[in-house]
Structure 1
Amino acid sequence: MKRLIFVVALMVRSIYAKTLFFTDQDFDEIQYMNLSVNPCDDFYEYTCGNFQNAHPLQDNEELIDYFTLLESSLTKIGNDILKNEISTTDPVALQKAKAAYQACVSEDLLDTVHLINPEIQVIEQYNGFPILGANNLENESFGWNEIADLASEFGISIFFTPVLTYDTLNASRNVLRISTDPMEIPTQFRPMLSQTYEEAIEKSFIVKANQKEKLTSYKVEVSAMEILLRQLVLKMKKTLGSSRSDSVLYDSVANVYSFLTGISNGGYIDENATIGAITDDPYAISVTLKQLNEWTIQNFGDTIQLDWVEYVKRLLQYTYVDVDENFLVLHPNGLNQTLYGILNWVRMNDIEIVKSAALLRAFTYTAADSDSETRNYFETFLNSSGKIIFPRWEYCSRKIMDSTGTLSLGLAVAYDYQLNQFDKTKLEKVAELISNIQTNFKVMIEESDWMDDTSKAAAQIKANNIINLLGFPEFILKQDLLDHFYDNLEITTWNHYSNAKKIRAFQQSYTLNMISERNRYAWEKSPFDVNAYYNRQNNRIIFPIAMLNPIFFRGSLNELDYGRFGMIIAHEITHGFDGQGYLYNPDGVIKPWWGNETKENFSNRIQCFIDQYSNYSIPEINATLSGSGSLNENIADNGGLRNAYGTFKKLFNSTNDVYNISGYQVTQEQLFFVGYGTMWCNSESISYLNSLVNTCNTTSSCHARASMRVNGVVSNMEEFGEAFGCPTGSAMNPTIKCKLW
């Protein structure tokens, strides 16, 4: 009967409308819909019910959705660009990208005599690999300065992680943050499902021995990471020689692995330790390197040889940043605990363990870029860690395109992509779409009944001050500027190990170089990153060119474009006005601008979302997600679709057209919501769902499950119930609806 109500509602409307006919090619997502389901009962199943049948998960795959499918499609396009012959007419930047690809993809070249065991050159450069017992440790010189040299040369974290962050009290200044964990990435439109190998490496230390593999040759059960470390050490033994037996080396590797696990856990602090404050000002946002030096001497005396000025100079040696004793470092709560734990842990361990751990840290990060023996060891580790092993062409393409992470040679590939593979008229269309969505959001601010007038006025200023970075940095359109960007990046067509090291260092130095100047217009993400980002500290949204492709944006049908990319735009805008966004003023400085009455009204309204999303179950694993953990994303989803729909109706409300897609008929309003629903179709593994639950229940920055993001949002909109004729009280048209924006 409910299904009949839906059909009748459509038929009555169609009497007064013209019918527009489309084929499956115009809306190929129809193949994933399950039209036997009543949209009023389960809209996600209605729009995505057959997606899993069409895209079943393969071994080690955790998630397939339109983001991962588009990422794969763009990788093939990038590969077509990179495998073309190097031409003198190419920008020098593109020549470098193609050269890097050639060196990476040529496995025969990787195994030529002079490129086998590239790790040996690193060992010689840093005067030995003490785990083999070949060095006189009394004369060994390897301290914090050498650790910084190794970290900056390879562009990796060794014991500390240096990252760029923003001075939350000064809109013109950035600062360096030194931590044991990477800085939280900007808010994203979707959960981060990193396909990088680095993630597997990090998890091996963070979750020690979660997954174990028994090797009969070793006769003991050890973790996959420890096996990898053993294999790398034995490989170095074959080349360099060592009087130590394999069993002794295994014990040494176990010590190194325990040491690195201790680093990931924050080092060691004795329960009776008294740790002095770095500064007498408990509210200090930053401290100087001079203060860090004084604090280190105060807590460790001469037992630790660490000059923070020299250490940071070496970390930033590939940037243009000037470092002296007045150089500022972020001072979050507990910085003294963080630094003490790591410094104390390093101090407690022998130099043999510390130096060997530092070198092995570099070797694990570069294992995929080494010779075939090391790569085989690394692929075995990846299999044990449940990670996908990309074919060589795909690994090389993703690496050079910067499919994830910060910028390196991806801009060179983007130059060719936007020139020869992309319809640049989309940029104008999307810019207009962004403008329309922002304009309507400002109307929503004025129409809100929970904000006082002062808060509304401040919200309007912030909305007007949002910066949108669209597509790619404009400078890549000019060859001379693009080439200049890569002046200091030397690439060869034959030495991939060296290229990979330089590319990684380039990525890190590019980001850290921004410490010198805060630029709200600076790009931090690759144009090929299939995601959208809002950064609260800069009140800035990034829409990479990757997102300007189907399914997210077609540029040919407004109903779909507003239901999808319009919602994405509005979602990111809303983040500036959610439970964290209200803490930041229009320039990205922490200065709350809501009045007390507005904050109280906000708290009362968000409880509805917390309760709603906490009540959704995940039957496959008999679990629920924390509505608090996903709160800000749920606010953005709900406000985003409401904004996109309101904008769409104001601009295109004159038509009563009915769309006939190979016999499937929908109204204009229905197609808008169907466009939104189909955007979230996915296939999920049990491990992905478990990880999602864990993230939502332990952090405040997770996303709800895709089906919840669809059903949760549409069930809060009266317009959806009206469009599909859903009876009041049905699953998708409940009597209680949550609304903020």
Structure 2
Amino acid sequence: MNAWSGEERDIMGPTVTRAPSAKSATPPLKNGNDLRGAGYLIAVGSRTARFRRKHRNKCLLIFLFILILLLLCLAVAMTVLYVKQKRNKPIRICHTKECLRSAANLALSMDTTTNPCHDFYQYVCGNWADEHPRPDAYRSYDWFREKQNKVYAVVRDFLSKNITDQPRPVQQAKDLYTACMDTDTLDKLSLKPIFKILKSLGLPPYPTFINATEGFDYSTYSFDWLEAVINVKTQLGMDILIGFDIFTDPRNSSVYRLVMGSPETTNPFPSMHNEKKQHIGQKSFLKRKIDYYKKNIRILTNKKQSDSKFDSLEDKDDEEKAAHIYKLFYAEIIKLFILESAPKNFNLTELELDQNIFLAADEYYTMSEDMYELEAANDTSIDDDQYLDVPDYTVEEVQAHTNMIVLSNNGTPAPIWKRYLEGVFKISNVDLDFEKDTILISDPDLKYMSLMAAYLSKAAPVTIELFIWIKVVEVMAVHTTTELRLLFQRSYDALRQHDLTVPPRSLYCASAVNDLLGMAVSYGIANPDFLTNTKPKIQVMLTEMKKSLAQLVGKTKWMDDETKLATYQKIIQMKTLVGFPDWLLETGKLEEFYEGIEVDTKKHLQNLINIIQVKIRNALNSFRTGNNFTWATDPTEVNAYHTFQENTIRKLQNN
């Protein structure tokens, strides 16, 4: 075997000879693999095999590189997503019943047929009126009114239940509701509660102007109108002729100031028509009321009540219609009081009595119009900048200015302002220092006060008494008999474009209790979980809003650094009042808040007055304590607002 040529012998080794008869013990092999495995074949390297091995290794490296690259891309993508998730909080979808209800209401209110680019309001709220028809009891109806009515319904249901183990003020709220609903007792008492109050105010049971007795000499009649006005303010909390309040200092919200001007709180009692009580610094309620009446006059169409009295109004001007309706209303009130308290020596015929009554109503209306003109000519509405610049005066300065105006109008000066303030604060624990305790009075208010004093200096005392008497009786009468309530409602409807359905008595009484004892009502219907669950979320929302505001301030170009710094400080100091006070559910705090209030289930009108008197006394006593930024409205009011002079945001609870 010569596989390679070489020397004489085979290069692979010596030749091996096997005997022919030798038999192999190895079983027959079938293929090359078997031979190689048995050691008969030896692998011989080749160029093709080496290429294949090299190509296989290269593919493996490429695969590993691609795999590493993919893993690196995945890691980068995951890192980016993680960073985005950290920066942008995930959107959480609210599935609670409140959220679902709100979403459904919003969807139903939208008018998707409208192009939002053309009329966005119609697109968002176009179907709201159709989905929420206006009840006949209201001239206007909106989201706030609807939610407020639901709150009143909850309050009514709570006050109607017989629940024990409640704090005393909560039980008093229930008693107040019971007294309000007891119309049988109100009718039985008739006008006796008002007669008692008139006597405490120093007013007669019916106006002296009527002169229902013989030998009455008007020239000798004297009437201390200032004493009567002081009594009305301290006992009823009502402004007549003089407006007075304790108000937050516009330049320093931590302290209170005395404020005087035109009458603002003209009706301190709960209104049948949910009219809000007024505060110093806003437009006069009287001005808005008369302006509205003059624009919205219609003829009374109730054929069952005084039809003949109002049929003659069709051909008169609107102002004449309004005046006629007013005079009829006042005349009927006066007559009811005269008939209820007729003296033994009453000697006027029915015709003479009616003539005197209509003369009295006409005289009152004339003086009322004169007072309105004084207020309307000196509108007390002012913008924010003017509000900060309201001047302050000492009592002596105000009196000196008043005396000058009175003398210039040929009147007789009289000391008014110091005596008025002393009389009002007599029911409090505060002693005024007239050297230091100056009074905030806007220029229009100072003009009104001076002209009013000049007017009264020349007016007949019997006319001034008539004016104060009707003002007082008008706001109390509606809280007495059914007859007076109907009289008030007929006249109220006659001055509007259409008759209004009277709200159910139960809702009115619930509203009245909520107005006077709002914290006690809130205690009864408050959810304790609100403080731990809902309130923190709202506070987070308000905090985020303040942060966003601060960011917007930082981006503005038109504000200098000093102004921005002041704005930042104001944002930081901004206070938030959410839902209801934290102290409300603490043991004993509610009783402390309503200390001194007494309620009787058989004395509805007296209950209202008792509560008003306690609130007036507390307000006067707080003059020296400083502003503690307490709740200006009850937690049951559906609204949220910013009190700019106190730098406070109030978010009220919606139950």
TM over 0.5: yes
Equivalents in 1 of 2:163, 2:91: separation in Å? Answer: 53
Counterpart selection for 2:275 from 196, 199, 206: 196
SS of the aligned residue for 1:178 comes to strand
**What residue in structure 2 maps to residue 150 of structure 1?**
232
**What residue in structure 2 maps to residue 677 of structure 1?**
none
Deviation larger for 92-101 or 207-216:
207-216
Equivalents in 2 of 1:501, 1:527: separation in Å? Answer: 22
Q: Are residues 179 and 288 of structure 1, via their aligned partners in 2, closer, same or farther at CA, if it must alter by over 3 Å?
A: same
Matching of residue 536 in structure 1 with residue 644 in structure 2: yes
Equivalents in 2 of 1:389, 1:507: separation in Å? Answer: 29
Counterpart selection for 2:412 from 300, 303, 311: 303
Tell me how far 1:96 sits from its aligned partner: 1.4
Q: Are residues 18 and 489 of structure 1, via their aligned partners in 2, closer, same or farther at CA, if it must alter by over 3 Å?
A: closer
Equivalents in 2 of 1:239, 1:305: separation in Å? Answer: 36
Counterpart selection for 1:288 from 383, 390, 394: 394
**What residue in structure 2 maps to residue 132 of structure 1?**
210
SS of the aligned residue for 2:526 comes to helix
Tell me how far 1:101 sits from its aligned partner: 0.8
Counterpart selection for 1:123 from 171, 177, 198: 198
**What residue in structure 1 maps to residue 18 of structure 2?**
none
Counterpart selection for 1:33 from 110, 113, 116: 110
SS of the aligned residue for 2:309 comes to coil
Equivalents in 1 of 2:582, 2:512: separation in Å? Answer: 22
**What residue in structure 2 maps to residue 105 of structure 1?**
181
**What residue in structure 1 maps to residue 162 of structure 2?**
85
Tell me how far 1:412 sits from its aligned partner: 0.6
Equivalents in 1 of 2:439, 2:631: separation in Å? Answer: 22
**What residue in structure 2 maps to residue 331 of structure 1?**
441
Contact 1:117 1:371 in 2 (8 A): no
Counterpart selection for 2:480 from 370, 390, 405: 370
- The CA deviation string for residues 548-587 of structure 1, in whole angstroms up to 9 with x for no partner, is x5xxxxxxxxxxxxxxxxxxxxxxxxxxxxxxxxxxxxxx
Deviation larger for 372-381 or 471-480:
471-480
What runs of 5+ residues in structure 1 fail to find an aligned partner? Answer: 1-16, 184-192, 271-282, 403-407, 550-741
Matching of residue 438 in structure 1 with residue 551 in structure 2: no
- The CA deviation string for residues 113-137 of structure 1, in whole angstroms up to 9 with x for no partner, is x454432223333241313325855
Matching of residue 228 in structure 1 with residue 329 in structure 2: yes
Contact 1:467 1:539 in 2 (8 A): yes
**What residue in structure 1 maps to residue 262 of structure 2?**
180
Equivalents in 2 of 1:164, 1:441: separation in Å? Answer: 32
Equivalents in 1 of 2:602, 2:256: separation in Å? Answer: 38
What runs of 5+ residues in structure 2 fail to find an aligned partner? Answer: 1-89, 266-271, 279-284, 301-306, 314-320, 379-388
Q: Are residues 212 and 512 of structure 1, via their aligned partners in 2, closer, same or farther at CA, if it must alter by over 3 Å?
A: farther
Q: Are residues 71 and 318 of structure 1, via their aligned partners in 2, closer, same or farther at CA, if it must alter by over 3 Å?
A: farther
Contact 1:230 1:250 in 2 (8 A): yes
- The CA deviation string for residues 355-381 of structure 1, in whole angstroms up to 9 with x for no partner, is 121121111112321112211111112
Counterpart selection for 2:470 from 343, 354, 360: 360
Q: Are residues 240 and 131 of structure 1, via their aligned partners in 2, closer, same or farther at CA, if it must alter by over 3 Å?
A: farther
Matching of residue 379 in structure 1 with residue 461 in structure 2: no
Equivalents in 2 of 1:421, 1:132: separation in Å? Answer: 61
Matching of residue 321 in structure 1 with residue 433 in structure 2: no
Equivalents in 2 of 1:388, 1:536: separation in Å? Answer: 37
**What residue in structure 2 maps to residue 165 of structure 1?**
247
Q: Are residues 219 and 457 of structure 1, via their aligned partners in 2, closer, same or farther at CA, if it must alter by over 3 Å?
A: closer
Q: Are residues 235 and 537 of structure 1, via their aligned partners in 2, closer, same or farther at CA, if it must alter by over 3 Å?
A: same
SS of the aligned residue for 2:623 comes to helix
Quick one: percent identity of the two aligned structures?
19
Deviation larger for 207-216 or 172-181:
207-216
Tell me how far 1:317 sits from its aligned partner: 4.3
One-letter code aligned to 1:531:
N
Equivalents in 1 of 2:590, 2:113: separation in Å? Answer: 53
One-letter code aligned to 1:393:
S
Tell me how far 1:514 sits from its aligned partner: 3.9
**What residue in structure 1 maps to residue 507 of structure 2?**
394
**What residue in structure 1 maps to residue 49 of structure 2?**
none
SS of the aligned residue for 1:258 comes to helix
Equivalents in 1 of 2:221, 2:541: separation in Å? Answer: 65
Q: Are residues 543 and 450 of structure 1, via their aligned partners in 2, closer, same or farther at CA, if it must alter by over 3 Å?
A: same
One-letter code aligned to 2:340:
T
One-letter code aligned to 2:175:
A
Structure possessing the higher radius of gyration over alpha carbons: 2
Q: Are residues 319 and 140 of structure 1, via their aligned partners in 2, closer, same or farther at CA, if it must alter by over 3 Å?
A: same
Equivalents in 1 of 2:259, 2:405: separation in Å? Answer: 21
Contact 1:205 1:261 in 2 (8 A): no
Q: Are residues 393 and 19 of structure 1, via their aligned partners in 2, closer, same or farther at CA, if it must alter by over 3 Å?
A: closer
One-letter code aligned to 1:122:
I
Tell me how far 1:422 sits from its aligned partner: 5.9
SS of the aligned residue for 1:111 comes to helix
SS of the aligned residue for 1:492 comes to coil
**What residue in structure 2 maps to residue 594 of structure 1?**
none
Equivalents in 1 of 2:423, 2:569: separation in Å? Answer: 41
SS of the aligned residue for 2:466 comes to helix
Matching of residue 344 in structure 1 with residue 454 in structure 2: yes
Tell me how far 1:324 sits from its aligned partner: 4.5
- The CA deviation string for residues 80-138 of structure 1, in whole angstroms up to 9 with x for no partner, is 12122363x211111111111110111112112x4544322233332413133258553
Equivalents in 2 of 1:418, 1:269: separation in Å? Answer: 46
**What residue in structure 2 maps to residue 96 of structure 1?**
172
Q: Are residues 266 and 60 of structure 1, via their aligned partners in 2, closer, same or farther at CA, if it must alter by over 3 Å?
A: farther
Matching of residue 73 in structure 1 with residue 172 in structure 2: no
Equivalents in 2 of 1:256, 1:21: separation in Å? Answer: 60
SS of the aligned residue for 1:157 comes to coil
Tell me how far 1:67 sits from its aligned partner: 0.7
Q: Are residues 177 and 197 of structure 1, via their aligned partners in 2, closer, same or farther at CA, if it must alter by over 3 Å?
A: closer
Tell me how far 1:33 sits from its aligned partner: 2.0
One-letter code aligned to 1:32:
S
**What residue in structure 2 maps to residue 411 of structure 1?**
519
* Aligned alpha-carbon RMSD (Å): 3.3
- The CA deviation string for residues 384-440 of structure 1, in whole angstroms up to 9 with x for no partner, is 2346632111111111112xxxxx310110111214796852111101111111122
Q: Are residues 322 and 457 of structure 1, via their aligned partners in 2, closer, same or farther at CA, if it must alter by over 3 Å?
A: same
Count of aligned pairs:
503
Q: Are residues 433 and 95 of structure 1, via their aligned partners in 2, closer, same or farther at CA, if it must alter by over 3 Å?
A: same
**What residue in structure 2 maps to residue 663 of structure 1?**
none
**What residue in structure 2 maps to residue 460 of structure 1?**
568
Tell me how far 1:491 sits from its aligned partner: 1.5
Contact 1:286 1:331 in 2 (8 A): yes
Equivalents in 2 of 1:247, 1:134: separation in Å? Answer: 11
- The CA deviation string for residues 312-335 of structure 1, in whole angstroms up to 9 with x for no partner, is 233344444333533321132244
One-letter code aligned to 1:182:
E
Equivalents in 2 of 1:182, 1:452: separation in Å? Answer: 39
Contact 1:418 1:424 in 2 (8 A): no
- Bigger relative contact order (CA 8 A; separation at least 6): 1
One-letter code aligned to 2:358:
Y
Tell me how far 1:508 sits from its aligned partner: 4.6
Tell me how far 1:256 sits from its aligned partner: 0.5
Tell me how far 1:206 sits from its aligned partner: 5.1
SS of the aligned residue for 2:600 comes to coil
Deviation larger for 522-531 or 492-501:
522-531
